[in-house]
Amino acid sequence: MKVLIDLDTTQAHQRLTIDTTGSAKSGLRGSISIPGDKSISHRALMLGSLAEGETRIRGLLLGEDPRSTAACFRAMGATISDLNSDLVCVQGIGLGNLMEPQDILDAGNSGTTMRLMLGVLASHAGRFFVVTGDRSLRSRPMSRVVNPLRQMGASIWGRESGAKAPLAISGQNLLPMRYNSPVASAQVKSCLLLAGLMTNGETIVTEPERSRDHSERMLAAFGADLTVDVSTNTVSLKGPARLIAQEITVPGDISSAAFWLVAGSIVPDSDLLIQNVGVNPTRTGILEALAAMGADITLENAREVTGEPVADLRVRSTKLKACKIGGGVIPRLIDEIPILAVAAAFAEGTTIIEDAAELRIKESDRIAAMAKELSKLGVNISELPDGLEIKGGNPLVGDAVDSYDDHRVAMSLAIAALMADGKTVIDRAESAAISYPSFVPTLRQVCV
């Protein structure tokens, strides 16, 4: 499929143009690699910084979010080599040894950096920290982690009674607790487990549904005394802990693979192989949803890498059908819903996505953003309070659309543009670099 793909980097906000004028919409082909998993990259940098010895990380995501995590922990005394995907060395300083930074910690656009780090900072008794982020992050809710941390004895202040950053933290000797989370959130769970590393006793977190379990897997690998009960969605961690440096290989991010899984499904005559993708069962909701829509996706060369299941994913184009997506699968595909909305635009029938109100407090209101921008391209889409209703089958026509500085919105619109007649211009396309710096080069690679 030959299309014109142009990224204008001369302005403060980059514009990505995808022009299908005169192009036969067929044939995305080839074998591609994707960036390292963002969730695992964050946790490897954090736990490596808190461990004793040198942690060696291969395959790290080089996006803006992990760079924010690395910068914060460098400012608190960890030695982290220059970030690259070949090898990053982290000289940890041991639990309890973080230094007070000389300046405000900046989490950038990364909710994972801020929310997980709060558990670490709150448990470092006698030290003072201030953490902030960009405009988007400062608007996102932090009370879901601040409130339970306060129940453990944390001293945290911020805007709106601690609901919004900037946040100031005075480290304390925290008490362990049993917390029944009202939401299935890996960030809430991970924050409290990290806080529990330095408490004397057992910290227990129970969720209404099972969320991604990268923290549990990696904490156990680093030596934490941790128990998981999948029947009750409960994780228990005994503190105080001692973390020992590890060798980590980060698999490819299934959230990044999702764009190509949908592209390969909707562009006729496509056959793509996506290599080295993490297929952790707490992250494979996207595969289940696409299977329900009739997608032709097969797993090849299944294996395990550093405690995480990995496979190559082959996707071939096919006719998709509408389905209903909601309930317990949502925590396992919450980041992939924007690109699932694109798949639904090409599915026969009406797709309903519900139970996803969490999307309204991401980097943007992703429900509103996808409804507004896809409708500009001709998609019959409407907002629900907690999701979207998409009637598939309308022909798409290129137009000017906006990413809202949201990386997943930007990339989802780019995939939709492949099947739109004419020219689509995506404003603020630089946001893709937050999780997928090589997205545009890979887009060019598969469109030849």
**Domain 4-36+252-446 and domain 38-249 have a common topology:** yes
Q: What share of the chain is helix, strand, coil (3-state, %, to 5)?
A: 35, 30, 35
* pLDDT attached to residue 134: 96
- pLDDT band at residue 24, thresholds of 50, 70 and 90? low
Helix axis angle for 337-345 and 407-417, nearest 10°, is 20
Cα pseudo-dihedral 433, 434, 438, 444, rounded to 10: -60
Residue 418, pLDDT above cutoff 70: yes
Residue 295, pLDDT above cutoff 70: yes
Residue 1, pLDDT above cutoff 80: no
Residue 329, pLDDT above cutoff 90: yes
Identify the active-site residue in 335, 402, 405, 406.
335
Q: State the average pLDDT over residues 153-162.
A: 95
- pLDDT band at residue 307, thresholds of 50, 70 and 90? confident
Task: Please write the tens of the pLDDT for every residue from 336-347.
Answer: 999 999 999 999
User: Residue 298: how many CA atoms within 13 Å on its side-chain side?
Assistant: 8
Architecture of domain 4-36+252-446: Alpha-beta prism (3.65)
For residues 40 and 251, is the Cβ–Cβ distance under 8 A?
A: yes
- Using only C-alpha atoms, what is the Rg of the chain? 21
Q: State the average pLDDT over residues 347-359.
A: 97
For residues 326 and 289, is the Cβ–Cβ distance under 8 A?
A: no
Of 17-31, 136-150, 168-182, 263-277, where does mean pLDDT reach its minimum? 17-31
Task: Please write the tens of the pLDDT for every residue from 189-236.
Answer: 999 999 999 999 999 999 999 999 999 999 999 999 999 999 999 999
* pLDDT attached to residue 9: 85
Domain boundaries, the chain: 4-36+252-446, 38-249
Q: What are residue 421's phi and psi, to 5 degrees?
A: -75, 125
Phi-psi bin for 354: left (phi > 0), alpha (psi -120 to 50), beta? Answer: beta
Helix, coil or strand: residue 150: helix
- pLDDT band at residue 52, thresholds of 50, 70 and 90? very high
Which CATH number is 38-249 given? 3.65.10.10
Give the N- to C-terminal CA distance of the chain in Å, as an integer: 5
Q: What percent of the chain has pLDDT over 70?
A: 99
* pLDDT attached to residue 189: 98
Helix axis angle for 407-417 and 366-376, nearest 10°, is 20
Annotate 253-314 with three-state secondary structure: CHHHHHHHHHHHHHCCCCEEEEEEEECCCCCCHHHHHHHHCCCEEEEEEEEEECCEEEEEEE
- DSSP letters spanning 50-75: HSEEEEEEES---SHHHHHHHHHHHH
* pLDDT attached to residue 11: 82
Task: Give yes or no: 335 in active site.
Answer: yes
Dist CA 18 CA 155 (whole Å):
49
How far, CA to CA in Å, does 235 sit from each of 38, 148, 229, 287, 304? 22, 15, 6, 25, 22
Task: Please write the tens of the pLDDT for every residue from 376-411.
Answer: 999 999 999 999 999 999 999 999 999 999 999 999
